[in-house]
Structure 1
């Protein structure tokens, strides 16, 4: 009799222990990442619901969607200061809202469109007139030949493809930045095609995002004539690609992430049950069913478009704690990952070519180009920000996110010695977070400027100090 009673008791114990650890992790992560004031501990509830509503516990989740009303200017520009002249901008963007990367249930019922507004209507008319007349350089032979200029379907979500909501995000971002910079840097309104360089990875979503962003920012006449160049890598490594040791570092990072998941069985169970309800039988990678990060990506498709969440049966649907728990856990893993030396090494190697290119463009700001755009992915911004030593911020990776390097000249100095830059992440001045910026200058008690000499020294002398070597070749051929 005793033996017969032990099994269900152990099962109940494991169940309650699992729920306890899930709650502890969720509360702990949101206490760290969430608002410091008005923090409410999430309570597990078993009510069924059709979609997620915005409240104090879910606001951060919706922020990842980056609705246009939240795309606003921040600390961009240094206004009303005669000592400093803005010479140019280097902008890195993540593409806008897209469809899921794996097949999910009920995708045909999700509306990925957005209501037309004046900016969207104007943009559609612009593209229609150009394609009808065949007067646009980026449609001709080249890397992006045959790419559609807008999403193929205005309302349907397609795997990995930009949505009209994503187009609207980038149009709005370009327009907002134009209103900010046109008074501080009037040259923006008169830039020629020779004074602008644009790079995009060879994905429809990054190409279309670049076009929408530029339409909102520069004159349509200039946009018609510019060249959009292809990056062979989502890391924009240019001439410094092919570093094979990065794959070994990546495996070490992935192993650490996998071990963390194994040490949290409650999250593993939550991910598995959620994945089974989200992914359809057409999903090509079955491991996504148990991967919290893949599940988070799939959940965004429902959450960002106000769609009903899938159910297995009338009483077995995705619940509130599924979403809150998955997002809390992935935020926590991201924070832990940025403490990992292998992750930092990986990001340094993958971003080396991009940082070298950024430095060369900064030094060329006296003669142009004066505006450089890199249209990439969340990995592009994530790896670069980690390589620069910035603090981890999962919201940096939201749809339509931006990193902006502003290059200034001190009018009291001559030549390149008077060049400085500042870095803004989604409008926040993060220059002081950069590891190698030793010569910080504060302007107006608000803006921080880093001498370009610091980033030149970093890229030429100190970049590989973590590897105990002095060049990219030796770093890439190290044995682990």
Structure 2
């Protein structure tokens, strides 16, 4: 090669020519390697430490953060504000959703998400109570009787987001809610200070997150010595159907509702694409990636794990990340879709059937309370669908924030001593609050609810009894649960 350079350039420039030819040969070799290099799989989603990756609170995102229901931001509701001598609060029934939990499906970078919560005096006192209540910390499981024997009392890791399990933030939410309710009822319900184990009944679905949520709520609400003597009663279903569970036609209603939701999504192809592109960035390879990535509801639920814990959102490249507009689009579509389904005929009938056992049980408890029979406090620890279906069955307006973590429906049972106090007398009333807001007048059969003052309305007990016995199955053109469930057509 040097002789060629001497021939072309002369002896003085031979070295420079040699260097240029060497570089050219290296470039050619590099190009060949590029084509021979095996194709690499797409990189795993990584966390980018860019402040933009956090979802900030503003006017448009406020509703999203309401679902998270941060413990430090929880405020007391209007429970127990009817403080008039002629009105006596006889008992309280609480239907509530469990607290903050980990994702239901495997998501990327979940090990980097901090699901812990700041330590408070209330949380520290609760930890100490559990330590002392379990033979000085020798056991971390429920040692009481019943179906929940051996269930862990508290999340096993204070900061990890375990799949479908309650987080410490969820524990803090229910402790806070219980404590707020206790203070709300201090003046209007003297019995609350001295509730015994016989005065309290607690029902929970057979999930760690609902059992632990019930335990935390009651620690904040009732005396600690009473809590240690309670028996937790297992609900055989997520709907608390009790003895009215078997209902074959609900499968047909489920299919009809699912078909309607699929049609709504089909008419919004942009949302379907948005859900899929967002889902591809969220779900890990351990999840049923394709199915969940196409479902806006599944994508929304997974997003809450990052959003509610102020975690960075995942990216697969520095320029391909989950953006604010993606999140807003998913949540806005979900709110719109649920508002449409709220008016859907099949959805309404499905909610009536699934909630019948719970409504029947609530009415029976109200009548026992009014006859001065125990229990006086009844708690149902359930899920978002528990609240949604009950609210729909009662005819409440659609409320996107109803099913936030630690969301609640509270029934307060009153006796008006000026009218008579027996359950058969005219002085028996109830009041319904959704997340602390009086919604009694929204109930389908309580349109003539009595207004006592601003934000305080009561409905006659006889109205809900009449609804249950006479009007509950009007929409099905039958008179009882069995006929509604075994109908041949929708």
TM-score of the superposition, structure 2-length normalised? 0.86
The 3 A distance-change label for structure 1 pair 291 and 136 is: closer
Tell me if the contact between 1:95 and 1:166 (Cα under 8 Å) persists in the aligned partners.
Answer: yes
Q: Does 1:233 align with 2:237?
A: yes
Are the aligned partners of 2:142 and 2:150 in contact in 1 as well (CA < 8 Å)? no
Candidates 282, 290, 293, aligned match of 1:289: 293
Structure 2 gaps of 5+ residues are 1-49
Q: Pick the aligned partner of 1:406 from 408, 412, 415.
A: 412
Where does structure 1 differ by over 3 angstroms across 4 or more consecutive aligned residues? 133-138
CA distance in 2, matches of 1:389, 1:472: 18
Q: Which of 215, 220, 233 pairs up with 2:219?
A: 215
Q: What corresponds to 2:86 in structure 1?
A: 83
User: What's the offset of the Cα at 1:286?
Assistant: 3.3
Q: Residues 56-205 of structure 1 correspond to what in structure 2 (within 5 A)?
A: 56-132=59-135, 139-205=143-209
Unpaired runs of at least 5, structure 1 = 1-46
- Partners of 2:212 and 2:189 in 1: how far apart? 26
Per-residue deviation, 1:312: 1.0
Alignment partners' CA distance in 2, 1:450 and 1:433: 11
Give 3-state SS (helix, strand or coil) of 1:132's partner: coil
Query: Aligned residue for 1:345?
Result: 349
**Is 2:485 aligned against 1:476?**
yes
Which residue number corresponds to residue 450 of structure 2? Answer: 441
Partner Cα distance (1:136, 1:360) in 2: 35
| Superposition RMSD in Å | 1.6
Partner Cα distance (2:141, 2:53) in 1 = 46
Alignment check: 8 A CA contact 2:134 2:141 kept: no
Between Structure 1 and Structure 2, whose CA radius of gyration is higher? 2
Distance 1:266 1:355, change over 3 A: same
TM-aligned CA deviation for residue 49 of structure 1 = 2.6
Aligned pairs, number = 434
CA distance in 2: counterparts of 1:346 and 1:428, whole angstroms: 26
Q: Is the 8 A contact 2:432 2:438 kept in 1?
A: yes
Could you give the per-residue CA deviations for residues 204-248 of structure 1, whole angstroms, max 9, x where no partner exists? 000000000000111100000011100001110000001111111
CA distance in 1, matches of 2:188, 2:144: 35
Write out per-residue CA displacement over residues 283-329 of structure 1, whole angstroms, 9 at most, x where no aligned residue.
Answer: 13631111000000000000000000000111111011110000000
8 A contact 2:141–2:151 mirrored in 1: no
What secondary structure sits across from 1:148 in the alignment? coil
| 1:380 alignment partner in structure 2 | 386
Residue 429 of structure 1 is matched in structure 2 by 438
Within the alignment, does 1:242 sit opposite 2:246 as a pair? yes
Q: Does the 8 A contact of 1:137 with 1:224 survive in 2? A: no
Partner in structure 2 of residue 30 of structure 1:
none
Contact 1:439 1:451 (8 Å CA) reproduced: no
Q: Which residue in 2 is equivalent to 1:271?
A: 275
Tell me by how many angstroms 1:137 deviates.
11
**Shift in CA distance, 135/265, structure 1 to aligned 2, threshold 3 Å:** closer
